[in-house]
């Protein structure tokens, strides 16, 4: 289901374009897009009669893409072949190709699973 988000992020945002890219049935794609709209990940915007829609990422959807970028970095490290990763990220601020990196929001140091303890949060069940 995440591929729809990535398609919209890279500019494949109309139903027929997304369907052609994914190669899935109209019914399945309609169900997936409806779910992403209901969950607030995508917004639907009319662009023609019939009606026809294009889909845009919401702020919630953009944060999901951040997660997908981290997952892609894992795949690039462990699964990419000799040709290298299929996607590169150019950072707007500096213009350079960059890697995706998890950092502590407090001190800015790199952060990995071995560097943290998971503690109950305010929404945890007692």
Pseudo-torsion of CA 46, 52, 58, 64, nearest 10°? Answer: -170
* Cis previous bond, 51, omega within 30: yes
Its pTM stands at 0.80
Largest CA distance in the chain: 53
From CA 54, how far away is CA 46, in angstroms rounded? 6
Q: Which residues contact 126 (CB under 8 A, 6 or more apart)?
A: none
23-to-19, 26, 119, 121 alpha-carbon distances in Å: 6, 9, 42, 41
pLDDT in tens, the chain (126 residues): 567 777 788 888 999 999 998 999 999 999 999 999 999 999 999 988 888 999 999 999 999 988 989 998 999 999 999 999 988 999 999 999 998 889 999 999 999 999 999 999 999 998
Show the domains of the chain with their CATH numbers. Answer: 2-58 (1.10.10.10), 60-115 (no CATH)
**What φ, ψ does residue 93 adopt, rounded to 5°?**
-65, -40
From CA 106, how far away is CA 68, in angstroms rounded? 22
């Amino acid at each position: 289901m995440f591929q729809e988000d990535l398609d919209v992020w890279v500019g494949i945002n109309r139903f027929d374009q997304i369907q052609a890219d994914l190669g899935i049935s109209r019914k399945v794609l309609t169900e997936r897009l409806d779910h992403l709209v209901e969950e607030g990940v995508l917004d639907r915007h009319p662009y023609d009669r019939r009606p026809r829609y294009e889909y845009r990422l919401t702020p919630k959807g953009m944060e999901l893409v951040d997660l997908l970028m981290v997952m892609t970095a894992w795949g690039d490290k462990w699964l990419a072949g000799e040709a290298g990763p299929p996607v590169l990220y150019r950072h707007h601020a500096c213009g350079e190709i960059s890697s995706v990196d998890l950092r502590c929001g407090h001190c800015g140091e790199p952060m990995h699973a071995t560097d943290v303890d998971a503690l109950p949060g305010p929404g945890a069940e007692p």
